[in-house]
Amino acid sequence: MYNVTVIMSTYNGERFIEEQIESIFAQDNCKVSLFIRDDNSTDNTLYIVNKLQKKYPIEVIKDNKNLGPAVSFLTALRKCPNQTEFYAYADQDDVWYSDKLNNACSELSLFSQEEPSLYCSTYDVVDENLDVLFTRNLNEYGQITMEKTLMGVSPSGCTMVFNQCLREKIDKSTPNYMRMHDFWTLLTLQAYSGNLFIDNEPTMAYRQHGNNTVGFSNKFEIKHWRRLFLSIKNNNERLKQAQSVWENYKDILDDKNKISILKLLKYKASLKSKFDLIFDDTYDSCIPRINILFKVSILMGIF
């Protein structure tokens, strides 16, 4: 039986959180504990969680601060006192299939405990009533490199399970900027050249509803392009993410990743620098719309 600590950040999740927590504690072949940081909810989220504490091993920290999901998740991970074999992130509104953690831990157990290791999976995207809309295909991205992650490609954090070694690496990091906790987790793993296992079999139902902090769609709609473009335009957030990686991990990056990040960090130096980056084959997400927006944002200096 595997020992797993699940890390969750909650915020006004009263609608679906009980169903999610029940699915977390219904995992096969796993001894699960849940560590929650509440991001200053104003609804009945904490009331529901407190009720479930009588039934399950749940620990809650609340400091009456709203940090946003990225910082809240990282804070929860750092403050979690549990020392277990494995850790997993969980959103508050999904439903996990009963073999989710067992599948992840089985794969992670094949790697050395002395090496940072991360498991990610795909999921079924569902509506509020858990009717399946489609299944995300992670194979379309090919091998997920640091360059792709910096471009914005990452499996979702709610599918991530990782070992104690990676947790320790994340704990030591001090990112000045972090797009989301899942991006930082993956970038930390890649900086240390750790083990990444991608499972293209769905292990959970990823619920889409009106209050999602982050959603996912496979439709090529104008609003999708607009959201992706605005996320690139938003104060050079991807460039700031790369700067945080460099500041934290420049001493341990391999030569390939050093060259790639430095090329990205210096792309505004000249028009030649921009074109060198645009035609760098390592910056290829395998997704045409992401590649196009990457090239356009580099030329415009807004990446």
pLDDT in tens, 167-226: 999 999 999 999 999 999 999 999 999 999 999 999 999 999 766 544 555 544 455 556
Distance CA 146, CA 92 (A): 28
pTM, two decimal places:
0.93
Q: Which two tokens stand for residue 42?
A: 């104003």
Q: Which two tokens stand for residue 296?
A: 């356009």
Distance CA 61, CA 80 (A): 9
With b for 16 or more beta-carbon neighbours within 10 A and e for fewer, the 34-47 pattern comes to bbbbbbebeeebbe
Distance CA 206, CA 121 (A): 12
What residue type is assigned to position 120 of the chain?
C
**Residue 291: band (very low, low, confident or very high) from pLDDT cuts 50, 70, 90:** very high
What residue type is assigned to position 36 of the chain?
I
Round the average pLDDT of the chain to a whole number and report it: 93
- Write out pLDDT tens, residues 187-201: 999 999 999 999 999
